[in-house]
Structure 1
Amino acid sequence: MDKEGEELTRTTVLSTQYLRTSVEYISSSMSAMVPQEIFDLCIDWLEASHESSLPTLKTCTLICSSWLPRARYHIFRRLSVDFRFRFRETLPELINQLRTEIFANPSIVPYVRVLSLQLQYSLGHQTGSESPYEILSDIPFTHLQQLHINFACSLLTKDYPWRLSRLLRLLKNNPYLEHLSLRNFAIDAQSMHELLRTLATYSPCMKTLALDDIRSFRWSKTENAWPTPPRPISLERLLVFDGPDFDLMSFVFRHGFFDWNALKTLALVGSFNEAGVKALVESECGRNTSFLTLDLRNLRSENLLEAILGNFTQLHKLQLLPPSVDNHGILSYTLEQLGRQPSFEQLASLYISNPILVFPLDTQLVELTKAMPSLRHVSFNFGSWLQENAIDPADMKSRLPLTGRTGVLDSQPDVDTLT
């Protein structure tokens, strides 16, 4: 190498060292002068203002130590574990990978706030005695704010007590939990009582509870002997999905676990029976509820419908889930009741999910808007039906010409799914 080349190389090395030293000095000086809250706010802004913020956040972790904690918080804040589509590794390999790369990683564990577990798996993918439920015993997180678990198959197996105990321990270890969603699981009544009692004792921040698609519910005759909850849970949002021939709705509204004064959003989905509706009415749940989702698909009793609607006097939003074929005319009867009862004078938004049932009710919808001057939005959650029939949501006015002239039709509804 000639002298000119050597000089250029030496200059480049010195420049690189100078730049590295300058960055370290500036970073340390900024850390000393600027409060950590300012760094955190800058990272928050970067995360919120960029659609693909992950590469930016990863870069921030390399700048200086003051940028590292908040950047890691946003990178690892949400963790989703899904066993359904992993076919390269065996189930034991997947579980071991979770344990070693995530659960034992101090750079991840302190920052996880939202955890989603999809525990469905293929029996053909299972090579040993382990199942995805094994990870319930290993979860190290203690600052979760949201927990979503899709059990996918029944908890009522030979190791049911072990699985339930691990779930309860996970709840006890997360006192900041605000949102809990349990889906596709089976549990006996005494265990459900223990689960809700655990929430009442160890989850003072709980705001949302979704009990979604309870497949099996075994009842005990010793309910009166169960201990009472230490304090009612002040829920703001509740989803109760009651399976056929079960009595979850009656259980939830009968045992005094909840302070219904704080409940703003309620979704009642699945089957209804007299015991469940009676428990709902006697609990006085709904007096302060502003948004109700009501499943009409298995509600064929006009008396039960009237009893349910009579419990909600402060509704601003109502979402109706009618059956695909309404042989009993339950949707039409519901709209009729809404127009008759003065308790719905504050209702501003109505959502209906079945378009086929709505089209013949154009005249009735117009009459409803006349009876309810507060009604400003009528929306239809058609989902894939619109795509399959090549219909633009904005074209719904042509399908409902009379209602369309009232100006209440809304083609882009904002509906709370509670999951």
Structure 2
Amino acid sequence: MPTTLSLELQERVIDELAYSFPALKACSQVCRAWLPRCRSHLFRGLVIRPSVYNQGYSNPFLTEYQQIFPCISSCIAYHVRALKLFYEIQPRRIASSSDIPSPLDNALIPTSSTTTIPFPFKRVQSLHICWNAVNWGGITSLEKILQQIDFLRHLVIEGRWRFRVKEDILCCIAVNAPHLKTLSLLRLQWFPSSLGSPIVSRIVSSWKKAFVEKGRVPGLKLERFCITESATKGSGVDLMKNVVLPSPCLDFEHLRYLAISANGLLEAFDARFEIFSKQITHLAIVKLDTHMLGLSLEQFGDME
């Protein structure tokens, strides 16, 4: 009699082959496991983009997703492996004065903490968060989301974030997503933009102290790291230099893939990367923002 594949192995094969029907048909047992739930499995990658309008209340993210998450079928959520969450405020077109929301109407809009919002995507392995507004909930909301994911491997964070003394984004990720292998920080901006380097240094120092006080929390052993547009316009604060490199939350010793600007690469080599740069096999320069880039291939060991 033919050997029966375990359910876990069937799931793994389906995840790896995704939409390759010829490859799936090569194993009849996996094919039979695929067919009954193929409609749900089409939701392997899901994008959620709510229509958020600027009505004057403080946390539209909480309100919008409080309405969306409970409506998602548990069967669909079970099969989602890649999730992209958008949050952007759009101006509402007002046809007449009667359409203008009153302060009382805004006050009656329900708000909630993400602790009361059940996050249904427990099996997500790749999460992309894109926030184009500051008041979405910050580190607290991110923490509550990450705590409800079983085994996150890839995380992309994009958009605007408000940096505060008590909100260390890298520490939040290291503590709540310890199995992470890929981290991408795309177009992150400092808010408020008037933060100067001395203030940022004090904030980062307090982050270091708080992380050490947590005890046995290891840094993230990343294999792939990407950062773009690290300097916020008008502030002179470099995210790579002032936040990423000094942070004890990231362990770059096993880094294989690096995508970074030319200026950020120079900063990285001066600070930490020169010691273990031979581990990097793939290097992508995402922005030529410096006049001098004197690096040789000998500094990168196995990189071709």
What band does the TM-score fall into relative to the shorter chain? 0.5 to 0.7
| Other-structure match for 1:266 | 258
Asked if 1:98 corresponds to 2:68, the answer is yes
Describe the superposition over 1:3-57 as per-residue Cα deviations: whole angstroms up to 9, x where unpaired.
xxxxxxxxxxxxxxxxxxxxxxxxxxxxxx965649768967783127xx9xxxx
Cross-structure match for 1:294 = 285
Q: Residue 237 of structure 1: CA displacement?
A: 0.6
Choose which of 163, 168, 171 in structure 1 pairs with 2:143: 168
Contact 1:239/1:268, CA 8 A, preserved across alignment: yes
* Counterpart residue number, 1:322: none
225, 245, 262: which one pairs with 1:238?
A: 225
With over 3 angstroms needed to count, the CA separation of the structure-2 counterparts of 1:49 and 1:278, relative to structure 1, is: same
Greater RCO between the two (CA within 8 Å, min separation 6)?
A: 2
The match for 2:159 among 173, 179, 184 is 184
Residues 1:49 and 1:35: Cα distance change in structure 2 (over 3 Å): closer
Identity %: 21
* Residue in structure 2 matched with residue 342 of structure 1 by the alignment: none
Q: Among residues 196, 200, 203, which one is paired with 2:174 in the alignment?
A: 200
Aligned partners of 1:169, 1:107: CA distance in 2, in Å?
22
Aligned to 1:216: 190
Counterpart of 2:247?
Answer: 255
Q: Which amino acid is the alignment partner of residue 143 of structure 1?
A: R
Q: Distance in 2 between matches of 1:36 and 1:253?
A: 44
Q: CA deviation at 1:145?
A: 0.4
Determine if contact 2:138/2:161 at 8 Å carries over to the other structure.
no
User: Following the alignment from structure 2 to structure 1, what is the Cα–Cα distance between the partners of residues 267 and 218?
Assistant: 24
Paired residues of 1:84 and 1:118 also in contact (CA < 8 A): no
Closer/same/farther in 2, CA of residues 73 and 203 from structure 1, 3 Å limit:
farther
Partners of 2:273 and 2:13 in 1: CA distance: 50
Change beyond 3 A, Cα 1:285–1:184: farther
User: Which residue among 67, 80, 87 is the counterpart of 1:112?
Assistant: 80
Give the drift of 1:273.
Answer: 9.7
Write the distance in 2 (CA, Å) between the matches of 1:146 and 1:85.
Answer: 24
Distance in 2, Cα, partners of 1:266 & 1:273? 9
Q: Which protein shows a greater Rg?
A: 1
Alignment of 1:29-178 (within 5 A): 37=7, 47-49=19-21, 70-71=37-38, 74-83=41-50, 98-102=68-72, 105-124=73-92, 137-154=117-134, 157=135, 162-178=137-153
SS in 2 for 1:117: strand
- One-letter amino acid of the structure 2 residue matched with residue 171 of structure 1: L
Q: CA separation of 1:246/1:98 partners in 2, compared to 1, >3 Å: closer, same or farther?
A: same
C-alpha separation between the residues in 1 aligned to 2:140 and 2:44? 26
Kindly state the Cα deviation for residue 123 of structure 1 after the two structures are TM-superposed. Answer: 2.3
Rate the CA distance shift 1:279–1:190 in 2: closer, same or farther, 3 A. Answer: farther
User: Within 1, Cα distance between the matches of 2:251 and 2:52?
Assistant: 40
The answer for the alignment partner of 2:300 in structure 1 is 313
**Counterparts of 1:264 and 1:180, CA distance in 2:** 16
Q: Which runs of 5+ in 2 are unaligned?
A: 25-31, 54-59, 95-100
Instruction: Provide the C-alpha distance between the structure 2 equivalents of 1:210 and 1:47, rounded to a whole number of angstroms.
Output: 26
Q: With structure 2 as the length reference, what TM-score do the two structures score?
A: 0.66
Q: 1:142 to 1:288 in 2, by over 3 A?
A: same
Q: Is the 8 A contact 2:161 2:189 kept in 1?
A: yes
Structure 2: distance between partners of 1:297 and 1:40: 43
Amino acid of the structure 2 residue aligned with 1:234: K
Q: Which has the higher helix share?
A: 1
Contact 1:286 / 1:311 at 8 angstroms: preserved in 2? no
Equivalent residues, number:
256
1:118-143 CA distances to partner (integer Å, 9 max, x unpaired)? 21241217977579x98894533222
Distance in 2, matches of 1:171 and 1:42, equals: 26
What is the letter of the counterpart of residue 110 of structure 1? Y
Matched to 2:246, the amino acid is R
CA distances 1:201-227 after superposition (whole Å, capped 9, x unpaired): 332321100011111165251515332
Q: Normalised by the size of structure 1, how large is the TM-score?
A: 0.50
**Is the 8 Å Cα contact of residues 260 and 286 (structure 1) preserved in structure 2?**
no
